[in-house]
A and B are shown apart, each in its own frame.
Chain A
Amino acid sequence: DAGVIQSPRHEVTEMGQEVTLRCKPISGHNSLFWYRQTMMRGLELLIYFNNNVPIDDSGMPEDRFSAKMPNASFSTLKIQPSEPRDSAVYFCASCRDRGQLDAFFGQGTRLTVV
């Protein structure tokens, strides 16, 4: 298995633009997580899905952020409009929700908003 695949690896965008981050979880994993990593706040859980349904989005910072999981093999995290303070590394992770609880992380998307 190729692991959790995120795209793009790097994104530089201007303030006010829409940004879409993509994630393909490991096949057979039915939980998916979006995390944000910054120097100031460390690793924050933004939202997680189970069986494609959002379970907990309490970590989503504000309405500019939205996440979808239209099917078991794809998820997106959208920021619209983007702001410089959104600059961070965004990680997607997936795991099976029964038995094996290891979350496997993607390589991350480094977002820079200028």
Chain B
Amino acid sequence: AQSVTQLDSQVPVFEEAPVELRCNYSSSVSVYLFWYVQYPNQGLQLLLKYLSGSTLVESINGFEAEFNKSQTSFHLRKPSVHISDTAEYFCAVSGRGQGGKLIFGQGTELSVKP
């Protein structure tokens, strides 16, 4: 079985400041890791994913996350946030061979202030 812990429920930050959203997971098998973003009143959208290979993965809008196996972490970072990044961010894990079944963390609400 897998579980995900997002350490911060809310992260307020000023525009153009850097941000880190923390995610730790536990699993008895090898995993795939994901970050999803949810804008108000919308479904979840995939932001980035780690399947294999390079432990640093990037999204098209400037976010990146690094898979750290020894620390069982997959923290999400962005060097300079925009107002439009305000949303809820979910970290998720899927065990290999489980056909895409995702287990989500509780979510982190990122609030970017001008």
Interface residues of A, Cβ cutoff 8 Å to B: 4, 31, 33, 35, 42-43, 45, 48, 50, 55-56, 91, 93, 95-97, 101-108
CB pair B104–A43 under 8 Å, yes or no, is: yes
Partner of A42, one of B46, B101, B107: B107
Interface residues of B, Cβ cutoff 8 Å to A: 32, 34, 36, 42-46, 49, 51, 90, 94, 99-107
CB distance from B51 to the nearest CB of A (A): 7
CB pair A48–B44 under 8 Å, yes or no, is: no
Instruction: List, in ascending order, chain A residues with CB within 8 A of B94's CB.
Output: 101
CB pair A33–B102 under 8 Å, yes or no, is: yes
Q: Mostly helix, strand, loop or mixed at chain A's interface?
A: strand
Instruction: List, in ascending order, chain A residues with CB within 8 A of B101's CB.
Output: 31, 33, 45, 48, 55-56
- In the A-B complex, the 9 residue pairs with the smallest Cβ-Cβ separation, listed nearest first, are A105-B43, A97-B99, A95-B100, A43-B104, A105-B44, A42-B106, A31-B100, A107-B43, A102-B46
CB distance from A2 to the nearest CB of B (A): 13
